Structure formats: structure tokens, C-alpha cells
Chain A
Amino acid sequence: ETGVTQSPTHLIKTRGQQVTLRCSSQSGHNTVSWYQQALGQGPQFIFQYYREEENGRGNFPPRFSGLQFPNYSSELNVNALELDDSALYLCASTARESSYNEQFFGPGTRLTVL
């Protein structure tokens, strides 16, 4: 069984640029959620994708967008990067139809905006 993987591991961008982060869900999982974790804080929910459609969104502006593909992998896109977007971006996958809510997190992508 393959766990959740994310790429790249680290990324440096400048203000105003755009970035795409990628996530491969764990085998058998059909739901991917994205979280932003600022330094020293708990992860904050960005949005969730279930069967290729957005299924819930946290308090993040529209410049944060995503996609889920037929193989359930996912992308997080952030436009017009701001300094405050510097954070660890985590994705988590789960099997929506399972009786448990257990989510498995990837190692994250560390984004630095200069």
C-alpha cells in the first residue's frame, strides 16, 4: 500500500508568482483535503475534493484553487503569491465511503515566498 506523497518537497517563489503543488492520494482513497500550516500553528483547512469536485472550503481567498484527477491525485494552485502564503502545505487522503474518518497526511510541501 502506497502512502500519501507530495511534490515538490520545497519551493521558493517571489511575490505575485503562481505555484502548483501536487499530491498523490493513498491507494483506495477517493477524497483529498488540503491544509496550510504556518510556522508554529496547527494546520488550517483549505478545501476538499471528492470525486473530482470541490466538496467544502475553508476561509481562503479564491486565488487558492484546486483540481482532482480521475486517479484521485490532486493539485493545489495559488495565484498572486503573498508573503503570508509561506507555509507547509499538507494534503490528506481518506476513503469517503469508509465508516471511519481517518485521514492520512503526506509529508508536505514547504513553500517560501520572498
Chain B
Amino acid sequence: QQQVKQSPQSLIVQKGGISIINCAYENTAFDYFPWYQQFPGKGPALLIAIRPDVSEKKEGRFTISFNKSAKQFSLHIMDSQPGDSATYFCAACGMDDKVIFGPGTSLSVIP
């Protein structure tokens, strides 16, 4: 049973466009929702994270939108750049600090 679902599996966006990745979770005990960016051959790096008491968090070009009642959250990358090309994982954590990852989205930003 996949506790964190993520879509799309892959995404191609033109430079300057908006990249949108959607996630959904099952367990209402989750209280921390990070997004990780991973480049080939590297470990995941924390990009941005949100707690369920807020509906939106913005850091630079990256925005998380959170809908607690629907148990859904999404990542928006504004003004997407070729350097943003990577695999993005949404995730969810509870009090035990165990990170449950989604299956990932491979983003390609083309010039």
C-alpha cells in the first residue's frame, strides 16, 4: 500500500514555464511534508517543506500548496529553468521522523 502517491511520473516543461507536481497521502498522523530534489548519482536534498497548519508556503520560485481536508499537496516551480531538471520526491513524516517518499517525478526543463 502506497502511503504517498505522486503524479505525474514524468514532466516536460519549457524554460520559463510552471512545473506542477501533485501528491496525496493517507495517514492523518503525518505532520510534516517535505519535498526533495535529487540529481543523478546524488542523495535527495531538501527543497522546501510545509506543516499542515498552513495552506501555502513560498520560497523563491518554489511554492507548496496544502489542502488538509483533501489530504493533498502540490509543488509549483515558477519560471522553470534547465537547472531544475531533476527528480522530485514529495514525502510525509510523522513524529517518528521516518520519511515516507512518493515514487518521484522526473522533471525535464527544455530550452
Which residues of A are at the interface with B, using a C-beta cutoff of 8 A?
4, 31, 33, 35, 40-45, 48, 55-56, 58, 88, 90, 92, 94, 96, 100-108, 110
Residues of B within 8 Å of A43, CB to CB, are 44, 89, 99, 101
B97 within 8 A of A: yes
Contact partner, A45, options B6, B34, B98, Cβ 8 Å = B98
- Given A88-B43, A102-B46, A103-B34; 18 other pairs, CB 8 A cutoff: A35-B101, A42-B89, A42-B104, A43-B101, A45-B100, A48-B98, A55-B96, A56-B96, A58-B98, A101-B32, A101-B97, A103-B97, A103-B99, A104-B46, A105-B43, A105-B45, A106-B43, A108-B43
Give bound CA distance, A103 to B32, whole Å: 11
Q: A-facing mask of B87-111, CB < 8 A → 1, else 0?
A: 0010001001111111110000000
B42 within 8 A of A: yes
Which residues of B are at the interface with A, using a C-beta cutoff of 8 A?
6, 31-32, 34, 36, 41-46, 49, 89, 93, 96-104
Closest Cβ–Cβ distance, residue A43 to chain B (whole Å): 5
Residues of B within 8 Å of A94, CB to CB, are 97
- The chain A residue sitting closest to B100, CB to CB, is A45
- The chain B residue sitting closest to A40, CB to CB, is B104
Residues of B within 8 Å of A110, CB to CB, are 41
Using known A-B contacts A100-B32, A104-B46, A106-B43, determine if residue A42 contacts B101 with beta carbons closer than 8 Å.
yes
- The chain A residue sitting closest to B90, CB to CB, is A42
* Chain A to chain B contacts (Cβ below 8 Å), 6 pairs: A33-B99, A42-B6, A42-B101, A56-B98, A101-B93, A101-B97
- The chain B residue sitting closest to A105, CB to CB, is B43
